[in-house]
Amino acid sequence: MHMVATPNRRMQQVLKASMGLTFAYVLATFVFGLRAHSLALISEAGHNLSDLLAIILSYVAVYFQARPANEKKTFGYQRAGVLAAFVNAGTLVVLSIWIALTAIERLHTPVEVQPRLMMGVAAAGVVMNGTIAALLWRFSKDVNIRSVFLHMLGDTLSTAAVIGGGAAILFTGMSWVDPVLSLVIAAMILWSSVGILRETLNILLEGTPRNMQLGAVREAMEGVPGVLDVHDLHVWSLGAQSHALASHVRIDEMPASECSGILTELNGRLHDLFHITHTTIQFETSGCETIHGCSSPPEAEAVGAHGHHHGHSH
């Protein structure tokens, strides 16, 4: 029987194909960059080498993300992809600085380049990088894959710029165009990587998920009938698309059997409005005392532990 590939499996297949194509292009751009004396092409080789490492790292992360939770990793390996994206973005920052410094040096010491060879190799790069970027786009909601997608999209644009630079050098003889293009490429790499660094660092530091307002979450929870107050509220990301919440909720005094309806409504709102898939909610029926050790960002609120009821949603 033919098995339908899962999204995770399809993602792995796309990453494998991307690895093969990128490795071939790294060799081509480096060899022909040396022959053409083109810093822009050699910069592309370095950029694509970082892409290759990024793809390998992302492939490993996708493999680990698919592994189930266990007693030592109770949330599984959901942050493997986030960590891979953080490392990828960090390497891109370093690479962009290296390219910029080399380009500045080349501006002071010009080197004659071979524009026709530049243009030919860059044209092949536009096709290859564009194809890989298109394949990765469908999975780009995952921050791990999005970091690789931005690598490849940046490569597509920068190799297209190399073609334009080669044409400019061919018709005008201005060799300074090559290092200036390298500076543009470096700026593009830096710009694309900083956003990924900020997002992944926020996840690793368990910050509130991007585009989510804690006040809006509290307001939605307090809108459930029977809920008097929401405090000690924490929301964080387990992975790029998986969010968790822990909170104390003060409710009217009622039999424990009636609490399940409130809990169901809370979890439903959190899932539908904020895509929060894991919750730990503690019910209380009276005011809270600070002595019980709760912390309530961003507002300081009293905390207590009377009439506790825990609700978990996965």
Give the CATH number of the domain where residue 221 resides.
3.30.70.1350
* Number of compact structural domains in the chain: 2
Q: With H, G, I as helix, E, B as strand and everything else as coil, classify residue 279.
A: strand
Same domain, 14 and 159: yes
Cα(225)–Cα(264) distance, rounded to whole angstroms? 12
Which of 180, 204, 228 represents a domain boundary (last residue)? 204
Contact in structure between 249 and 273 (CB atoms under 8 Å): no
Q: Single out the residue in 176, 204, 232 at which a domain terminates.
A: 204
- What angle, 0 to 180 degrees and rounded to 10, lies between the N-to-C axes of helices 115-137 and 39-65? 20
181 plus 300 within the same structural domain = no
User: CA 175 to CA 157: how far, in whole Å?
Assistant: 20
Distance CA 205, CA 80 (A): 14
Q: Which helix (H) or strand (E) holds 108?
A: helix 80-108
- Per run of 10 residues, the mean pLDDT along the chain (length 314 residues) is 57 83 84 79 73 76 73 76 81 82 79 76 83 80 72 75 80 79 80 81 85 90 90 85 87 76 90 89 70 50 41 47
CB atoms within 10 A of CB 190: 17
Q: Are residues 79 and 120 located together in one domain of the fold?
A: yes
Say if residue 168 is in the same domain as residue 305.
no
195 shares a domain with 226: no
Instruction: Supply the range of the domain harboring residue 303.
Output: 214-313
Residues 114 and 253 in one domain: no
What per-residue confidence (pLDDT) applies to 210?
81
Is the residue at 149 inside a domain?
Answer: yes
Same domain, 44 and 178: yes
Domain end call among 170, 204, 238: 204
DSSP secondary-structure letter at 38?
A: -
Does residue 252 sit within a domain?
Answer: yes
Residues 187 and 219 in one domain: no
Residues 181, 40 share a domain: yes
In this structure, the answer to whether residues 46 and 160 fall within a common structural domain is yes
List the strands of the sheet with 276-284, edge to edge: 227-237, 243-251, 276-284, 310-313
Structure confidence at residue 301 (pLDDT): 42
Contacts of 99 (CB under 8 A, 6+ apart): 43, 46, 47, 182, 183, 185, 186, 189
Write out the two tokens for 239.
Answer: 């992975």
**pLDDT recorded at residue 247:** 92
Q: What is the reported pLDDT for 46?
A: 73
Q: What are the angstrom distances between the C-alpha of 52 and each of 64, 180, 300?
A: 19, 25, 47
Q: Is there a single domain that holds both residue 230 and residue 191?
A: no
103 located within any domain: yes
Per the CB < 8 A criterion, the answer to whether 156 and 18 are in contact is no
| Global pTM exceeds 0.75 | no
**195 and 223, same domain (yes or no):** no
